[in-house]
Structure 1
Amino acid sequence: MARPSLNDLTAFVAVATRRSFRHAADELGMAPSTLSHAMRSLEERMGVRLLNRTTRSVSPTEAGFELLARLQPALATLEDALDSIASFRGKVAGNVRINAPRLGAALLVRNVLPLMIERFPAVVVDLVVEGKLIDIVAAGFDAGVRLVDSIPKDMITVPFDGPVSFVCVASPAYLHRFGEPGTPDELERHRCIGHRVPSGKLYRWEFERAGQALTIETSGPVTLDDEELMVEAAIEGLGIAYVASPAAEAALAAGHLRRILTAWTPAPERIAIYYPGHRAVPPALRAFLDTVKATR
């Protein structure tokens, strides 16, 4: 059996992850018909069907999923090896577009960008704050930032910063006036600052203790869609807020807020950079990813 070329394998990964010959062809810079013919030739050489095709969609077969799972990390390792010699070609320059929620953007500005500017002054980081989970490829971004559990499975992830916990906080004045809840169920008797997520829905607060998970619908006098404003509202005594720990750490350290229901804090989550694994990583993005890894 003739071994498939690297180009054919890269094309297969593009089709299998994008689930569309047209979208994959746009990324690869070739005609959809040419790409479809290349995939049929690949299947003939390998002697197994890799893709299920209909008039409306394309998806991997069981064999295709197996090949995809093995190819993605292998191609990423190959790209790392090729990009490792970038410094021998001269100064790294260019733009890297990153999509991130406000929390992720703040962590990048605080922990990654200072070192990035020092190491790669000719690279411009174009950081766009976006609350919604979008298709970064279709929107023209090089990479995105999200909690690991919300990242699409076909993306390569690079965790950064420490684990993020979600915490309940309130001002000392609020707690002096209304008391401190001992369990999540007692929140129904308190003023809670609502959190509206980008989809428009109200976020339900999540708690966990000794393997017991609870999800609480809260109510209160104000609803906000920005964690920094939620922290400010809590400082002003408007109610109890439920936010990611980095958003509240300065106010907690200064004594403006206190953590409550600490025994019910859910397991922390990791935040990560993610990017497509089926396309060549540009030098500017590779410089950014290397800087992220250096700050962990």
Structure 2
Amino acid sequence: MKSSYTIPRNLLDGLEAFLRVAERRSFREAAEDLGVSPSAISQTVRQLEERIGVPLFIRTTRSVGLTEAGALFHAQSAPAFASLVNAWEGARTYGGRPAGLLRLNMPRSVVPILIEPIIADFCARYPDVDVEVTGEDALIDLAASGHDAGIRVGELLEADMISVRLSPAFRFVTVASPAYLAAHGRPYAPIDLKQHNCIRQRISSGAMMPWRLLDGNRSIEVAVKGRVIVNDMASVVSLAQRGMGLAQVSEPLVLGQVRDGELEVVLGNMATSSPGLFLHYPGHAQVLPKLRAFIDHVKAAVASGMLDRLIPPA
């Protein structure tokens, strides 16, 4: 006897809304992303919860979190939804010009330095491609979050990713404002950092970003203390400019401030280097025309030397 399989009607209704709320941890921000009202998002998610039969979110006046059922549903539905979107866009653009929504993920500090200078030209060349840039410092699973590609420093790339170099290697430098150095003195050796207020950064794992310096040809990790902890490098730079303490940041972020005398580099002969920035995307995923167009656009910018001017080599 032939088996009969029936797919429930409206099975996917509300799934995109659910995934956006889960990603943003906010109904308001998800509504802004999708161009609808927060009440519409909330109603759509409630209808999805009613069809499934369990609550997916824990809602309070201050936060939105996933229930155990919601976390399980998210883990399994996010990559499936991304595959459906890719299949739809792949079929729609098969043999045609690049089109659709291109979603990029990268550290917040990279957006003004690297992406803003090239994104306008890309959008002008490809009017049928919309671009959504998510700036965040947390390391995410691109496929599970629905992003087409991301930008990371070389040491954080995963082995199964395809990567395209965007910048030459650059240094991580220790900086401070002239006012801070005048008041607290200038460090001349790693041990001197123990006497200074150091602005620290907490990374997505919950750990503090380590401070590293070169001791000859050997990289050493230095334990530092400080009264202020933030979770993104742009804030570290801003606080250093305000004289809050020493900061260790990627050199391209502070080239202008150092040139203008707002910050000074200390321990410059002990600065470590990063392999540079890379565009990366899942190696197992089909490269849709919209992403291929962006990759080719970035490669052209790299070949022209444009990105080298934005991020001078170490």
Q: TM-score, normalised by structure 2?
A: 0.64
Equivalence for 1:291:
297
Q: What per-residue deviation string (whole Å, max 9, x for no partner) do you get for residues 135-184 of structure 1?
A: 11111111111112211101100110332321100011111121111111
Partner of 2:225: 219
User: Percent identity over the alignment?
Assistant: 33
SS in 2 for 1:112: helix
2:175 alignment partner, SS class = strand
Cα distance, 1:99 vs structure 2: 1.3
SS at 1:274 equivalent:
strand
CA 1:189–1:28: 2 relative to 1, 3 Å: closer
| Count of residue pairs the alignment pairs up | 219
Does residue 109 of the first structure (1) align with residue 115 of the second (2)? Answer: yes
One-letter identity of the residue aligned with 1:106: P
* 4+ runs deviating over 6 angstroms: 27-30
Equivalent pair of 1:204/1:215 in contact (CA under 8 Å): yes
Q: Which runs of 5+ in 1 are unaligned?
A: 1-21, 31-85
Residue identity opposite 2:131 in structure 1? V
CA spacing shift, 1:242–1:28, aligned 2, 3 Å = closer
Cα distance in 2, alignment partners of residues 226 and 28 from structure 1: 28
The structure-2 alpha-carbon separation of the partners of 1:228 and 1:93, relative to structure 1 and needing over 3 Å to count, comes to same
Pair 28,256 (structure 1): closer, same or farther in 2 beyond 3 Å:
closer
Alpha-carbon distance, 1:89 to partner:
5.2
CA offset digits 1:199-219 (Å, max 9, x no partner): 222122011143122101111
Counterpart in the other structure of 1:168: 174
Contact 1:146 1:273 in 2 (8 A): yes
Amino acid of the residue matched to residue 178 of structure 2? P
Q: Which residue of 1 aligns with 2:305?
A: none
Q: Say if 1:28 and 1:214 are closer, same or farther in 2 by CA, change over 3 A.
A: closer
Q: Is the Cα contact below 8 Å between 1:196 and 1:224 reproduced in 2?
A: yes
Structure 2 unaligned spans of 5+: 1-75, 85-92, 303-314
Q: Secondary structure at the match of 1:141?
A: coil
CA RMSD of aligned residues (A): 2.6
Distance 1:94 1:189, change over 3 A: same
Q: Distance in 2 between matches of 1:89 and 1:131?
A: 36
**Structure 1 residues 148 and 29: alpha-carbon distance in aligned structure 2, compared to 1, 3 A threshold:** closer
Q: Secondary structure at the match of 1:131?
A: coil
CA deviation string 1:210-260 (max 9, x = no partner) = 312210111122112122221121111111011111221221121100011
Counterpart among 199, 202, 205 of residue 199 in structure 1 = 205
Partners in 2 of 1:280 and 1:119 — Cα distance? Answer: 22
